[in-house]
Amino acid sequence: MTGANSPAPRRARVRGIGSRWLLLLLWVGAPAWAVPGQPSPPAATAQRSAVYTWASPSSPDGTGKFYQGREIARVMSHQGAWWLERPEREREEQPAKVVAALELRPGMWVADLGAGTGYYTRRLAKAVQPGGRVFAVDVQPEMLDILRERADQAGLTNIVTVLATEKDPRLPKERLDLVVMVDVYHELLWPHEVLEAVRESLKPGGRVAFVEYRAEDPAVPIKPLHKMTEAQVRREAAVHGFEWIRTVDTLPWQHLILFRRPAEKEVRAP
């Protein structure tokens, strides 16, 4: 684990975080997706999925549930919602660069999966005007209440809130141009099922964007389970037949890894 007093990082941009926010960042990691708690024991889910394993949590940040060789991280509840709107996030994530890299156009249908308070939802909604729509997806109704209030304050009328389940984001089938997950995917309790549902929601040729803290960079001051390598993201996306487009690694702490649902129908390996 790294901190504010670590040796000089490889990228100068990652310096300068205040100690108070660093402690919070090290603890919570990312926006909420699922209500905190231990995952179901293997006996309760053995017939529903064969892709997960269980073991003792590797740290207080882990769930003890493993997928594709990584332990799924714990998440924070809606009680930490204020942290998602902290002013320092502008410097730490540079959201304008994230939105620009998504190459949005007016009229697009986009989903912000694990939207939390709508920090990115609001930015996406502005980028697809006029005529576009953003589906703000979260499993916590309290988060969606906050999101709606902030969207109303911003005068945004093209946001549709969706109360999802931990396995199903409840998105329209084959209608979306893009699904975005910002600091969310590593905390999904059912990543295989959610990614399959994401694939079904995309138009052929539609895209999915993973924004995750870079595990390859020890200077990124985030606990290990709240970071992902590009290789791990690509491995898990490939299971669902997603084609890698490009990776943006010019953000302060994150990388944006972009994939496409193939335009043609194909048979995927199990």
Domain ranges of the chain: 12-260
pLDDT mean across residues, the chain: 83
- Whole-angstrom distance, CA of residue 267 vs CA of residue 134: 30
Instruction: Tell whether the torsion through CA atoms of 203, 205, 206 and 209 is positive or negative.
Output: positive
pLDDT at 1 over 50: no
- In angstroms, the CA 155 to CA 16 distance is 34
State the pTM of this model: 0.80
265 pLDDT band (50/70/90 cuts)?
Answer: low
Task: Identify residue 201 by its one-letter amino acid code.
Answer: S
Ramachandran quadrant class, 71 (left: phi over 0; alpha: psi -120 to 50; beta: rest): beta
- What pLDDT, on a 0 to 100 scale, did the predictor assign at position 116? 95
Contact 39, 188 (CB under 8 A): no
Predicted confidence at residue 79, as pLDDT, reads 72
Pair 14, 167: CB distance under 8 Å: no
Q: Lowest-confidence range among 10-19, 129-138, 164-173, 231-240? A: 10-19
- Distance from C-alpha of 82 to C-alpha of 157, rounded to nearest angstrom: 23
Pick the CATH number of 12-260 from 3.90.209.20, 3.40.50.10420, 3.40.50.150, 3.40.1350.10: 3.40.50.150
Helices (H), the chain: 19-28, 42-45, 81-84, 89-93, 95-101, 119-127, 141-153, 191-201, 230-238
Instruction: Check pLDDT > 50 for residue 14.
Output: no
CB 202 within 8 A of CB 231: no
20-27 contacts, C-beta under 8 A, 24 or more apart:
21/86, 21/88, 22/221, 24/83, 25/92, 25/221, 25/222, 26/1, 26/221, 26/222, 26/223, 27/223
